[in-house]
Chains A and B, each alone.
Chain A
Amino acid sequence: MVALRMRRAAVALGALVVLYGIAAELGRGRLPDRIWMGSHYVDNIQLLPTWRSLAEEGAFLLESDILASSVAVSTRRVLAGLLLGSLVGILLGLATGWAWRLEALADPWVTFFRFTPALALLPLFVTWFGYGELSKVLLIASSVAVVTLLGAHHGVRTVPRAYIDAATSLGAGRSLLFRRVVLPFALPHIFASVRVATGLAWVTIVVAELIDAKMPSLGYLLALSGAYPRVPTMLIALATVGALVLAFDLVLLLIHARSTRWMRRTA
């Protein structure tokens, strides 16, 4: 069953590769090859670079270490922001889910951050913390914290009454109830929110880096390749971001699956 699915997936992806190649070849003669860059024209642009030119460009980027260092920088920022944000968010989410007084106190904050797009805070953070690592990491951390807070909160709040009653009847005090009943139950919800937060983190970092002006980073690579323009680089940068998003998601999925082996698989 799984083998069939994988075969079909391979077919679909293979078809995509082929279709793109065809489109690129067809486009070579027909698509416009000069672009207006606001003040001048640039010639010899391949809007749909062939697989060949993409491969060559990719090789160049890898050899010259540009891609690797960009990936390293961006990944580092995302990881830092994710770790910081998840820690804060999960702790706060668990606390507010468990103690309703804390929740009432934290609610104005949470609601505000929840409806503020993370990117809107970027200028503020830049004003306060300057351009550079801190403002970016903090920006990611704040949006991750909001998402994970909501996830942890939800996880605590949706523990079925049956488990709580059973545990209380067996004599569990608040502490034991939280540690051995609520927390394990909330774990899958927390993981799901971390996955969502990761996607959000990548979106945020790319834009934050597009705005900032320092090499190396994936965002800046993207901006630079847009300024020349150098299309193959741009597409490779886009693909790299996509690949990183996927990779992070997969890793999280694996961790989730391992730590919730006790869960019944739903459809």
Chain B
Amino acid sequence: MTAPLLEAQGVGYTYPGTTPTRALEGLNLAVNDGEFLALLGPVGCGKTTLLRMFAGFLRPTQGTVRCAGATIDGPGWQKGYVLQEESIFPWMTVRENLEFGLLAKGADPAARRAASDELIRLIGLSAFEGTYPKELSAGMSKMVEVARVLATDPSILLLDEPFGALDSQTRARLQDALSRLWEQRRKTVLFVTHDAEEALYLADRIVVLTQRPGRIKAQFAVQIPRPRSFETRFSPEFVALKRQVLEATAA
């Protein structure tokens, strides 16, 4: 059993302020290499806080967060982070957005071009490579953001409710797209969501958090075979597991 890639030990976080808010408390979490882990919980349970700690933007007020054994001390391209809010750069074209990470790495134009070519094909936006985000739909924008973090080939992906603001059809489509992407380029993924079905559809393992202050309430191993499709959502195993998960979250 190899050591987990991402580890949180006894993690707690309290937001400072006139009334300090304890977002997380005594949390222990391990994400294994190559695993797709979904963090499920209600609004305000501290999942974003935990993700931001893994991404290196917050330091836990108690406990430690580790990546590959070393304490996390800041953001970096090795941990691809897709925020909940829209963060596609509106002043850059789709292609320029995709190439940004490689630009930061110092890659030469040819290498950047090759990488962005591949990604554009991967997300199926070949017709839009030179357009500005203002002409993209919300779903397309989000896909660009996901592809953007893939450009630098990080080993870890941290996704914070990326499809939360989209309508259900777009969300379903993008879940499929993400699933296929992940199957092609295996990465360790920590995926935050409040939607149980989305968690079941995408993940290998689901961790359910309580209300604030967030602690682990339950865990589920999702052994539904891949590749998963539209039909999978109605298979008996899926439905049974969904029931269990929903009961756990409601408890």
Q: Which of B135-164 contact A (CB under 8 A)?
A: 145, 148-149, 152
A262–B148 touching, CB < 8 Å = no
Decide yes or no whether B230 CB sits under 8 A from chain A: no
Decide yes or no whether B80 CB sits under 8 A from chain A: yes
Instruction: State A228–B11 Cα separation when bound (angstroms).
Output: 83
Q: Contacting B101 at CB < 8 Å: which of A163, A165, A170?
A: A170
Task: Give a binary string over A159-174; 1 marks a CB under 8 Å from any B CB, 0 the rest.
Answer: 0101101111111110
Q: Contacting B91 at CB < 8 Å: which of A162, A166, A184?
A: A184
B83–A162 touching, CB < 8 Å = yes
Q: Determine how close the nearest CB of chain B comes to the CB of A96; give it in whole angstroms.
A: 22
A169–B149 touching, CB < 8 Å = yes
B77–A185 touching, CB < 8 Å = no
Please classify the interface of chain A as helix (H, G, I), strand (E, B), loop, or mixed, using the class held by over half of its residues: helix
Q: Determine how close the nearest CB of chain B comes to the CB of A16; give it in whole angstroms.
A: 38
For chain B, the count of residues having a C-beta within 8 Å of the partner chain is 29
A162–B87 touching, CB < 8 Å = yes
Q: Contacting B132 at CB < 8 Å: which of A172, A173, A176, A261?
A: A261
Decide yes or no whether B104 CB sits under 8 A from chain A: yes
A166–B90 touching, CB < 8 Å = no
Decide yes or no whether B124 CB sits under 8 A from chain A: no
Decide yes or no whether A8 CB sits under 8 A from chain B: no
Q: Determine how close the nearest CB of chain A comes to the CB of B153; give it in whole angstroms.
A: 12
Decide yes or no whether A30 CB sits under 8 A from chain B: no
The interface residues of chain A lying within 8 Å CB-to-CB of B104 are: 167, 170-173, 176
For chain A, the count of residues having a C-beta within 8 Å of the partner chain is 22
The interface residues of chain A lying within 8 Å CB-to-CB of B103 are: 176, 180
Assess A165 versus B57: contact at CB under 8 Å? Given A170-B149, A263-B134. yes
A263–B76 touching, CB < 8 Å = no
Write the chain B residue with the least CB distance to A160: B85
Task: Give a binary string over A49-61; 1 marks a CB under 8 Å from any B CB, 0 the rest.
Answer: 0000000000000
Q: Determine how close the nearest CB of chain B comes to the CB of A5; give it in whole angstroms.
A: 24
Task: Give a binary string over B66-84; 1 marks a CB under 8 Å from any A CB, 0 the rest.
Answer: 0000000001110111110
A166–B87 touching, CB < 8 Å = yes
The interface residues of chain B lying within 8 Å CB-to-CB of A66 are: none
Binding site for A on B (CB under 8 A): 55, 57, 75-77, 79-83, 85-87, 89-92, 100-101, 103-105, 132-134, 145, 148-149, 152
Sample (16) of A-B pairs whose CB atoms are under 8 Å apart: A162-B86, A165-B81, A167-B100, A169-B75, A169-B76, A169-B79, A170-B100, A170-B148, A170-B149, A171-B101, A172-B104, A176-B103, A180-B92, A261-B132, A262-B133, A263-B90
19 further contact pairs, Cβ within 8 A, besides A180-B89, A262-B134: A162-B86, A165-B55, A165-B57, A165-B81, A166-B81, A166-B87, A169-B55, A169-B76, A169-B80, A170-B104, A171-B101, A180-B92, A180-B100, A185-B91, A261-B132, A262-B90, A262-B92, A262-B132, A264-B90
CB-based closest 6 A-B pairs: A171-B77, A166-B87, A169-B81, A170-B101, A184-B91, A171-B104
